[in-house]
Amino acid sequence: MIETYFKNKKICITGGAGFIGSAIARRLARIANVKVVDSMTPQYGGNLKNLDSIKHLIDIQIGDVRKKNITENFVKNVDYIFNMAGQTSHMDSMSDPYTDLEINAYAQLSILEAVKKFNPNVKIIFASTRQLYGKPDYLPVDEKHPVRPVDINGINKNAGEQFHLLYHNVYGIKTSVLRLTNTYGPGMRIKDARQTFVGLWIKNIIQNDTFEVWGGNQMRDFNYVEDVVDAFLAAAISKDSEGEIFNLGSSEIINLKDLANKLIEINSYGDFLEMNFPEDRKKIDIGDYYSDFSKISNCLGWSPSINLNKGLQKTLDYYKSEGEFYFD
């Protein structure tokens, strides 16, 4: 198992109480020395419930990566940094662009400066997004596709990426970048659509409320969170990942109406309304998107193993059991 490579290693996870960060923490907590850092800002994805099963095994630090003293402290004396801290809402980035800039760009530069000064031998894996491609010129989208963000979030995440690559190229810092597609699973924020619309759909369907599907014909790919964790661990242990960008994705392509119907079928009940895009959202929607993930498959041996039916079932089961910790 890939986790054995991390035995007794010192791990830091920024955004470690969030969706994917906490999944990495849960995977490594029993084999490595894990420290998580999270601001626990209410409008973002941090939720201590995500760490409840391992809280006795890890070091949990509440701190904001935008603060220099916090950053300089957590980068010291660790072997790997899984850099998951970020602002993910596209609409929030448009209404509050300066906060998005601080988290997704400035804070990333601050982390890298601290690494250069205090721990230049650490390996950093940075969570980026497919959003920075913008509206695709062709499908599936590979890493050579032009970068043309349609919102502030994509611009700032691109800056965060470029900082990581620059610090590798100029200073020799061991960095890798993963561009995530739609990710879902236990631990995601479901009280609203700030993190993912799938989360809000799941909340509504469990509560027997009708959910909204905007548009509906957009083609998308999806990754279950444990597959995404596998990708981050694979990138961490491979020298071939250093200085590289990798798309994550799936060969299981589906439009949003079919995804909604699949979710209802798996759940055995539910209903949705097809809605026109609100004008402000329509301007930043990327339309059809799915990834070519052959580069990471060929270089690191990664490909997703959990299909939509199984992943959605696991996700529904989790929130039916633990939803009270996520609904409000």
Q: Which of 126, 145, 118 is nearest to 134 (CA)?
A: 145
Q: Which of 42, 19, 49 is nearest to 323 (CA)?
A: 49
Q: How deeply is 73 buried, as exposed, middle or buried, from its count of CB atoms within 10 A (0-12, 13-18, 19+)?
A: middle
Predicted TM-score of the model (pTM): 0.96
| Per-residue pLDDT of the chain in tens (328 residues, 90 and over written 9) | 788 999 999 999 999 999 999 999 999 999 999 999 999 987 777 899 999 999 999 999 999 888 888 888 999 999 999 999 988 777 888 889 999 999 999 999 999 999 999 999 999 999 999 999 999 999 999 999 999 999 999 999 999 999 999 999 999 999 999 999 999 999 999 988 777 899 999 999 999 999 999 988 999 999 999 999 999 999 999 999 999 999 999 999 999 999 999 999 999 999 999 998 777 777 788 899 999 999 999 999 999 999 999 999 999 999 999 999 999 8
Cβ proximity of 99 and 85 under 8 Å: no
Amino acid at 188: M
pLDDT at position 44, please?
Answer: 78
Instruction: Give the gyration radius of the chain's Cα atoms.
Output: 19
pLDDT at position 242, please?
Answer: 98
Backbone angles phi, psi at 162, to 5 degrees: -65, -35
The b/e string for 187-197 (b: 16+ C-beta within 10 A; e otherwise) is bbbbeebbbbb
Residue 183 Cα distances to 134, 228, 257, 269, 289, angstroms? 18, 8, 17, 23, 14
pLDDT at position 89, please?
Answer: 79
What is the CATH number assigned to the segment(s) 2-186+222-251+290-306? 3.40.50.720
Cβ proximity of 53 and 26 under 8 Å: yes
Helices of type H across the chain: 19-28, 68-74, 90-95, 97-101, 107-118, 152-171, 197-206, 225-237, 256-267, 279-282, 294-300, 308-322
Residue ranges of domains in the chain: 2-186+222-251+290-306
CA distance 147 to 30: 39
How many residues would you count in the chain?
328
CB atoms under 10 Å from CB of 63, counted, come to 16
Sign, CA dihedral 88-89-93-94, equals: positive
Here the tokens at position 270 are: 């539910």
Number of Cα atoms under 13 Å in the Cβ half of residue 272: 27
Cβ proximity of 146 and 138 under 8 Å: no
CA distance 60 to 126: 20
pLDDT at position 97, please?
Answer: 93
pLDDT at position 150, please?
Answer: 92
pLDDT at position 133, please?
Answer: 97
Cβ proximity of 189 and 19 under 8 Å: yes
pLDDT at position 195, please?
Answer: 75
Question: Under DSSP, is residue 45 helix (H, G, I), strand (E, B) or coil?
Answer: coil
Helices of type H across 75-151: 90-95, 97-101, 107-118
Q: How deeply is 10 buried, as exposed, middle or buried, from its count of CB atoms within 10 A (0-12, 13-18, 19+)?
A: middle
